Amino acid sequence: MRGYVLIQTYPGKAAEVCRKASNLTGVKMADLITGPFDVIVHVDTTDFSACGHLVMDQIQKIDGVWRTLTCLTVEL
């Protein structure tokens, strides 16, 4: 299951959140971005459930994460 997690952080926490997220299993890449979100994380997991656990049990628990938006890729 591939997708992108857009992260809003608390002020001053974006770089730390990006660094910590990039080290998680299932995360292919994490970058600081501009706009309404601060970090974008490219995830690749075995299935929908694993993706949910990655987001809710790991990414959302990183100190400094305020809100996430998960966008799963679609294959036609």
- Give me the CATH number covering residue 49: 3.30.70.920
**φ, ψ for residue 20 (rounded to 5)?**
-70, -40
Q: Which structural domain range is residue 49 located in?
A: 2-72
Count, residues in the chain: 76
Q: Judge contact between 7 and 22, C-beta under 8 A.
A: no
pLDDT value of residue 75 = 86
Sheet strands (E) in 1-76: 2-9, 27-32, 39-44, 65-72
Q: How confident is the model at residue 40 (pLDDT cuts 50, 70, 90)?
A: very high
Look at residue 9 and tell me whether its pLDDT is greater than 90.
yes
Which DSSP state fits 4?
Answer: E
Look at residue 64 and tell me whether its pLDDT is greater than 90.
yes
**For range 52-60, the mean pLDDT:** 98
- How many separate domains does the chain show? 1
pLDDT value of residue 70 = 98
Look at residue 69 and tell me whether its pLDDT is greater than 90.
yes
pLDDT value of residue 42 = 98
